[in-house]
Amino acid sequence: MPRFAANLSFLFTERPFAERFGAAAEAGFEAVECLFPYEQAAETTAALLRAHDLTLALFNAPPGDWAAGERGLAALPGDEDRFTAAVAEARAYAAVARPGRIHLMAGLAEGLDARATYVANLRGACAAAPDLAFTVEPINGRDMPGYHLRRLADALDVIEAVGAPNLSLQLDLYHRQIEEGDVTRAIEAAAPVLGHVQVAGVPDRNEPDGGELAFGRLMDALDRVGFAGFVGCEYRPAGRTEDGLGWFAPFRRR
């Protein structure tokens, strides 16, 4: 049965960020994840995780200037130094907060030079921190036009080209459905390198049991391929977070 992580950048946003850890634990989650935790001190995050007996499943490395439209640095030719600095910041945070995985966002870039830069940067990050686990994630082009990594086949090619044991796939079922569909086969194809999964309803990115996806069948597919990681709940609640957690009841472990 899948294990779920509440994404604190999306869920329980009725509360200040620090209070969302307790809300997630009270709702029955055993893990949390978030986009960018850096505004909160790593020591505070670690203390909140301990206080509420939570695992930190994943966060993203700094993506560059988000407000200016940047969506990652890993595939941007000429920005190698900025990428290295972003990874260093993520590593420093991870040394205290102890995440299971760190997502290295590719950024908005096209072409062969971007792909070569992406592979080289990922290879360097993985080699510099063999004790940490990193992920890459295909993101659909509707929500993030121009994002370098959109298709599963490309993500699998990148992981193979990097050739690092501490790099795995982050498969967001919402992004996959919008970009390519055929989600069950994607789970099966990705299984050997699948490190983290995320879910949301399609097309509105609300609770995962609504919309186009056969949520229960997809969770069964994860079980069939032996996925043992966390499923991140990266969705926007249609209303109050707790009121939309009916889907979670069969999976609750505490």
Instruction: Enumerate the active-site residues.
Output: 137, 234
CA atoms of 150 and 154, how far apart (whole Å): 7
8 Å CB contact between 44 and 93: no
Rounded Cα distance, 134 and 205, in Å: 25
State the residue for tokens 């420093």.
92
DSSP 211: B
Question: How far is 7 from 9, CA to CA, in rounded Å?
Answer: 5
CB 30 within 8 A of CB 3: yes
